[in-house]
Chains A and B, each alone.
Chain A
Amino acid sequence: MSKDIQSPTANPASSEALNPGRREFLRASTALSAAALMSLVPPGVRNAAWASGSDAPEKPEVKIGFIPLTDCASVVIAAEKGFDKKYGIKIVPSKEASWAGVRDKLVNGELDAAHVLYGLIYGLQLGVAGPRKDMAVLMTLNHNGQAITMNNQLRAKGVTDGEGLARLVKAEPKEWTFAQTFPTGTHAMWLYYWMATYGIHPFNDVKVITVPPPQMVANMRVDKMDGYCVGEPWNARAVHDKIGFSALTTQDIWVDHPEKVLGTTLEFVQKYPNTCRAMIAAILDASKYIDTMANRSEVARIISGKAYVNTEFSVIEGRMLGRYDNGLGRTWQDKNYMKFYNDGMVNYPYLSDGMWFLTQHKRWGLLKDHPDYLAVARAVNQIELYKQAAAMTKTPLPKSDLRTSRLIDGTVWDGRNPRAYADGFKIKV
């Protein structure tokens, strides 16, 4: 193994063959994954190493799309508070007007990544009602913090909850109209799930329309709909403006439900893995910052600005702090308020979360046949990259890629038998 037998023209492979020490090291580091090794190195040194070595972000500036909603906070804070710089990237948040626009811009590369509805990414992966493209979920951005709002006419008829609505729909059949935000998105799925729990068929018993989040309140004001499901602050806004009340929160449908994700294309992940890892790490740091409750008012102030959500600070702040007022005289401190980190519980891209949206797409006829649930979720959710970023940011990891939840109708979802789960609902298409 002495140097003198090495010819000066030796290619890397043969020089490696002559150097078993180096080869052993390479094999060990591949098996352990770079991130696991890095976690052994002190943080200061480690960050410098990620930024300067071969793991340096391939694309140092990333344009991340977002829709004006409270849950865009971690993307905004990562940029505003400079968490991005720590990982050698610059995040440029880009305000978007519609989910269709976010989708198109992700597909054609105008956006590098986006704050996006979980279900939209899966809809795109399977080509539900539109283009098909291999997509990626890098991390979950938040749990909870959406709600279903009803208007004052329903209240006047004595309807304040799902049971009341079910009674009314049967007793007075007419075009009761409810809005959600995108056909394959999370709000459509929360709305349908909630209705079906009370025996209301979302396609046969009521009329469902799609309305962009910032236009919900205006549409309800002119009686274009009787209710809607959307993210905050647009439910708090309806209470504030006295045009409606919150019938229930989405955490009442599913405690700690997955909501928005950091989405991109698989192509982007393959081309720029280091940039992706840096994005996840920066947003994990921002998520941690937002879940330190002492920082929340400041966060609410930042995102209320014109460049972001563009609505009154007070309308955003209350529910961000878990202070709820449903507009019917009930106020409470909700322990399941919108969470961005929760010791990493929020951000892990659980395969069971991804599969859940597929089961609902199948349930409501958006998918005609059962997909290979697990294979799709494995292809989309970038668990390895996430784990590396978690190691960089000391974010705890769960033990399993699946988690178990009991939803509002009592059904348990653990991700183990998605086909039977999707077929098991009484009300479906």
Chain B
Amino acid sequence: MPRSKDPSTAPEPLRVMIVDSDPERSRNLRGALTLAGYRVVAELRESIALPDAVQGLKPHIVIVAADSPDRDTLEHISLTTRNAPRPVVMFTQDGGAETIRAAVKAGVSAYVVDGLSPERIRPILEVACARFEAHQALAERLAETERKLAERKAVERAKGLLMQRRGLSEDEAYRELRRLAMQTGKRLGEVAETLLAAAHLL
């Protein structure tokens, strides 16, 4: 399977953390994950150690039971550590196919049914990661588009300012901005924004 995050060929296996109060289920899951080529960095039983463990061990994926109260704690962690968010895959007792489909469609998280076999675990984690990456990529693209739009607006306004204050033509104003950008090694948008911010002081 030509996937960049394929744990067997990637230089470093994906780091997985398990949070589960049921020791037997947790142990089985660890076995299955290890067989599938993942590195289980921790098996936590309770939430008390959760924030520290996530910060210290930096797992790529956290697996937590759907009915675990610790999910709220994880929610907060992924909100506050924006640079290193991670998919949370859950398993549930009542994971009917319908429920799982609805959950995935709703963009909640991927569900893994309880008592899963080792050969099933990898495709499920891969789907979860792929979905997560797609979501991240989309979010980044949106942020990039918004930034570009804002920059374009700033450039337009900065040109207008130069034309008005220095009596330049539109072309000349643009060239002036570009010259400044090249001199300072900044993006055109950044130069325009700096100029506009400074203009407020004058």
Query: Which residues from chain A sit less than 8 Å from chain B, CB to CB?
Result: 97-101, 104, 107-110, 129-131, 133, 181-183, 209-212, 214-215, 218-219, 222, 224
Contacts and interface: CB of A to CB of B under 8 A. Distances in A.
Judged by DSSP, the binding face of B is helix
A224 B48 contact: yes
A100 B71 contact: yes
A211 B68 contact: no
B106 A133 contact: yes
10 contacts: A97-B68, A98-B72, A104-B103, A108-B103, A181-B72, A209-B73, A210-B76, A212-B69, A212-B70, A219-B47
A182 B48 contact: no
A210 B72 contact: yes
Judged by DSSP, the binding face of A is loop
Contacts of A209: 51, 73, 76
B102 interface: yes
Contacts of B73: 209-212
Contacts of B66: 101, 104
Contacts of B109: 104
B72 A99 contact: yes
B99 A98 contact: no
Given A107-B108, A108-B108, A100 B99 contact: no
Contacts of A224: 48
A108 B72 contact: no
Contacts, number: 73
Nearest to B107: A131
Given A100-B75, A182-B75, A209-B76, A108 B70 contact: no
A222 B106 contact: no
Interface in B67-116: 67-79, 99, 102-103, 105-109
Given A129-B75, A218-B48, 8 more contacts: A97-B67, A101-B67, A101-B71, A104-B108, A183-B75, A209-B76, A212-B72, A219-B47
Interface size class on chain B is: 20 to 34
Rank and list the top 3 A-B pairs by shortest CB-CB distance, nearest first: A210-B76, A212-B69, A108-B102
B69 A97 contact: yes
Q: Which one of A100, A108, A214, A222 has the highest number of Cβ atoms from chain B below 10 Å of its Cβ?
A: A100
A210 B76 CA distance: 6
A224 B48 CA distance: 7
A104 B105 CA distance: 11
A140 B70 CA distance: 27
Q: Which one of B66, B68, B77, B108 has the highest number of Cβ atoms from chain A below 10 Å of its Cβ?
A: B108
Given A99-B72, A101-B71, A210-B72, A108 B79 contact: no
Q: Which one of A131, A211, A218 has the highest number of Cβ atoms from chain B below 10 Å of its Cβ?
A: A211
A212 B21 CA distance: 15
A3 B70 CA distance: 69
Contacts of B105: 108
A398 B61 CA distance: 49
A95 to B, nearest CB: 10
A101 B106 CA distance: 13
B58 to A, nearest CB: 18
A104 B70 CA distance: 14
A100 B71 CA distance: 6
Contacts of A101: 66-67, 71
A322 B6 CA distance: 59
Contact of B99 (A110, A181, A218): A110
A222 B107 CA distance: 36
